């Protein structure tokens, strides 16, 4: 229709047609009068409705026919009921096969779950309206909620829904009583399967796909053209030998093995398990003395060092001593630009150019001529990633040279000596319960942000750009 309420987001094809077809063949065999499951009659007051089967008969027949044991037969039988090919007469909400004398009946093929007949909300709305008529307003709670929902969202079609529900109800009343009972049972069972009550596991819950996987795509010229392009592109992709990639994976795992909270125990204790947040407090960004594990992690790669705020602070201290802080400053400025707001892009670009890139700038970075040319040209029309090439170059410089010097430096070695090794906690059960009771809420994110802002301002005030000329003056004066 014009505006289909496509709450399944346009994905109509469910990849179950194959197995559903096999189920259908099985069900057809099951109800065969000669070789199928034996049927009895259901007695209701004066009438008796035929074609009722018991749970244990179903299971016995399945086990016999498919040569399975009882457990598998039970699973298959439950699947048949869950998909709606057979419905229970007692306890209609539990879609399982009970291995006793409880009654089941076969569902009419009109109500079979078939892929191409999409179950529509309008049909469900008509069913709910019919049920409302029949039960005079005493629907179940979830049905009432859905009914109200439909009245609100399907309002333009509501008149049609009510009209159709009334007509179907009247048409059904024309039938004989036994047939009416059977049809009502069938319909109810169908909707329990297709629109299950809340918190119920439904067999129909499944990924819906955009393309019907059963129908193969028509082999047109366009299809082949697209396939050829795709295959050519995949040939051109750079490939890595599996020995190389596996070697990298093994190396990664051996380095990080002891730092993974799943594989090695957290020191002092994992807060999620023991409700004790010493671990988080020891590893906060603004802590004075970091833990040994943290310091060890900094030595893995420059990326780890820079990502950890405490590590970055330490690296800055080292660089200040070496008077080569402009690389890191430039890298940080480029990061700020990448993550910054679009409005400030032009200003930031100007500031960075004046500070780092212009010839004779106070913190001039030493990058090769080609990258410098590209960056300066790009800065005429600044965008978020205009400093990307220069940033990568600077990062590589730091990684190949400064990082190793840092790891051998006294700054780092001091830090290693100072670092804490917290003792692992050993809580008894009573203490664990006490911890759980004493859980306090975490810091308000606003407070954390305010603290970070204050620290940033203090850091900016403290780290004036180290001007070579000033230091020279100082030295001269001496």
Partner 1 sequence: MNRWRRSVGELQARRRQVTECEQALAALSKVTACFQQMASSLGSNTDGGGLREELAEIRAIAHRIYTGLHRRLITLLTEMEHGQEDREQVERLWVLFLSGLETFQKDLRKANSLQELFPLTQRRDRNTLIKTGSSGGSEVAARAATVQTPWVSAGEERCPDLQTQISRLDALLQEMLQRVNVPVWTVESTQEAWVEAGKEEVDDDETLEDLMQVEVVSQDSTTTGCCHHSNCRLGCILCLLT
Cα-based distances in Å from 84 to 107, 190, 432: 7, 6, 48
| DSSP state for residue 308 in the 8-state scheme | S
Options 170, 209, 400, 413; binder of partner 1; rule CB under 8 A: 170
Which stretch, 1-9, 234-242, 261-269, 314-322, contacts partner 1 (CB under 8 A)? 1-9
Residue 379 beta carbon to partner 1: minimum distance, rounded to whole angstroms: 51
**38 φ, ψ (degrees, to nearest 5):** -75, 130
**104 φ, ψ (degrees, to nearest 5):** -135, 160
Q: According to CB under 8 A, which residues from 202 to 261 bind partner 1?
A: 202-203
What's the CA gap between 397 and 404, in Å, rounded?
11
Which stretch, 169-177, 270-278, 319-327, 449-457, contacts partner 1 (CB under 8 A)? 169-177
Q: According to CB under 8 A, which residues from 176 to 195 bind partner 1?
A: 176-186, 188, 192
Instruction: Specify the long-range contacts of residues 339-345, CB closer than 8 Å, at least 24 apart.
Output: 340/384, 342/384, 345/382, 345/383, 345/384
Options 7, 67, 201, 437; binder of partner 1; rule CB under 8 A: 201
Tell me how many degrees the CA angle 225-229-235 measures, rounded to the nearest 5: 145
Residue 276 beta carbon to partner 1: minimum distance, rounded to whole angstroms: 29
- Cβ nearer to partner 1, comparing 30 with 365: 30
Tell me how many degrees the CA angle 366-368-374 measures, rounded to the nearest 5: 110
Q: What track of x and - describes contact with partner 1 for positions 65 through 104 (by CB under 8 A)?
A: ---------xx--x---x------xxx-xxxx---x-xx-
Residue 407 beta carbon to partner 1: minimum distance, rounded to whole angstroms: 51
Q: Are 306 and 315 in contact (CB under 8 A)?
A: yes
- Cβ nearer to partner 1, comparing 91 with 454: 91
Q: According to CB under 8 A, which residues from 272 to 291 bind partner 1?
A: none
* Sign of the CA dihedral running 68, 93, 88, 86: negative
Residue 169 binding partner 1, by CB under 8 A: yes
Q: According to CB under 8 A, which residues from 108 to 167 bind partner 1?
A: 108-111, 114, 116-117, 120, 122-123, 126, 129, 132-137, 147-148, 151, 155-167
Which stretch, 26-34, 303-311, 313-321, 354-362, contacts partner 1 (CB under 8 A)? 26-34
**51 φ, ψ (degrees, to nearest 5):** 65, 60
Q: Are 214 and 18 in contact (CB under 8 A)?
A: yes
Residue 398 beta carbon to partner 1: minimum distance, rounded to whole angstroms: 53
How many residues interact with partner 1 (rule CB under 8 A)? Answer: 95
Q: According to CB under 8 A, which residues from 309 to 338 bind partner 1?
A: none
Options 77, 84, 113, 196; binder of partner 1; rule CB under 8 A: 196
| Beta-bridge partners for 104 | 53, 88
Q: How deeply is 250 buried, as exposed, middle or buried, from its count of CB atoms within 10 A (0-12, 13-18, 19+)?
A: exposed
Cα-based distances in Å from 290 to 286, 423, 452, 453: 9, 14, 18, 21
Radius of gyration of the chain (CA): 36
| Beta-bridge partners for 52 | 40
- Cβ nearer to partner 1, comparing 112 with 427: 112
Residue 391 beta carbon to partner 1: minimum distance, rounded to whole angstroms: 51
Q: Edge to edge, what strands does the sheet with 47-54 contain?
A: 40-44, 47-54, 103-106, 86-88
Options 13, 15, 26, 31; binder of partner 1; rule CB under 8 A: 31
Residue 225 beta carbon to partner 1: minimum distance, rounded to whole angstroms: 30
Pairing of strands 86-88, 47-54: unpaired
Q: According to CB under 8 A, which residues from 33 to 62 bind partner 1?
A: 33, 39, 42, 44-45, 49-52
Which stretch, 25-33, 235-243, 402-410, 434-442, contacts partner 1 (CB under 8 A)? 25-33
Residue 370 beta carbon to partner 1: minimum distance, rounded to whole angstroms: 59
- Cβ nearer to partner 1, comparing 203 with 397: 203
């Amino acid at each position: 229709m014009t505006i289909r309420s496509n709450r399944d987001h346009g994905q109509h094809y469910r990849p179950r047609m194959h197995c559903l077809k096999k189920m259908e063949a099985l069900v057809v065999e099951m109800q065969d009068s000669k070789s199928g499951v034996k049927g009895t009659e259901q007695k209701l007051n004066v009438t008796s409705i035929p074609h009722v089967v018991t749970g244990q008969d179903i299971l016995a027949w399945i086990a016999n026919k498919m040569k399975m044991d009882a457990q598998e037969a039970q699973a298959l039988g439950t699947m048949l009921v869950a998909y709606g090919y057979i419905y229970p007469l007692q306890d209609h909400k539990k879609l399982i096969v009970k291995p006793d004398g409880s009654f089941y009946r076969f569902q009419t093929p009109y109500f079979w779950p078939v892929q191409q007949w999409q179950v529509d909300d309008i049909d469900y709305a008509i069913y709910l309206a019919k049920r409302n008529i029949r039960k005079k307003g005493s629907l179940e709670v979830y049905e009432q909620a859905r009914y109200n929902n439909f009245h609100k969202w399907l309002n333009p079609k509501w008149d049609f829904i009510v009209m159709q529900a009334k007509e179907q109800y009247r048409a059904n009343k024309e039938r004989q009583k036994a047939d009416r009972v059977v049809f009502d049972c069938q319909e109810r069972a169908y909707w329990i399967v297709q629109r299950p009550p809340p918190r119920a596991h439904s067999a129909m819950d499944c990924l819906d796909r955009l393309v019907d996987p059963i129908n193969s795509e028509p082999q047109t010229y366009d299809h082949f053209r697209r396939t050829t392009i795709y295959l050519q592109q995949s040939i051109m992709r750079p490939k890595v030998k599996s020995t190389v990639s596996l070697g990298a994976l093994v190396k990664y795992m051996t380095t990080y093995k002891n730092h993974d909270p799943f594989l090695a125990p957290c020191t002092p204790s994992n807060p999620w398990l023991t409700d004790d947040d010493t671990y988080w407090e020891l590893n906060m960004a603004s802590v004075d003395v970091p833990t040994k594990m943290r310091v060890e992690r900094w030595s893995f790669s420059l990326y780890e060092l820079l990502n950890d705020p405490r590590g970055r602070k330490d690296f800055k201290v080292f660089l200040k001593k070496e008077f080569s802080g402009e690389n890191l400053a430039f890298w940080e400025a480029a990061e700020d630009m990448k993550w910054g707001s679009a409005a400030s892009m032009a200003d930031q670009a100007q500031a960075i150019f004046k500070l780092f890139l212009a010839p004779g700038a106070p913190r001039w970075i030493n990058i090769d001529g080609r990258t410098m040319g590209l960056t300066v040209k790009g800065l005429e029309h600044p965008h978020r990633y205009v400093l990307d090439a220069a940033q990568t170059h600077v990062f590589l410089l730091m990684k190949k040279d400064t990082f190793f010097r840092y790891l051998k430096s006294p700054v780092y070695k001091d830090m290693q000596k100072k670092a804490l090794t917290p003792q692992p906690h050993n809580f008894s059960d009573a203490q664990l319960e006490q911890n759980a009771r004493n859980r306090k809420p975490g810091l308000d994110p606003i407070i954390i942000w305010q603290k970070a802002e204050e620290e940033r301002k203090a850091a900016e005030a403290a780290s004036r750009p180290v001007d070579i000329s000033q230091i020279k003056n100082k030295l001269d004066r001496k």
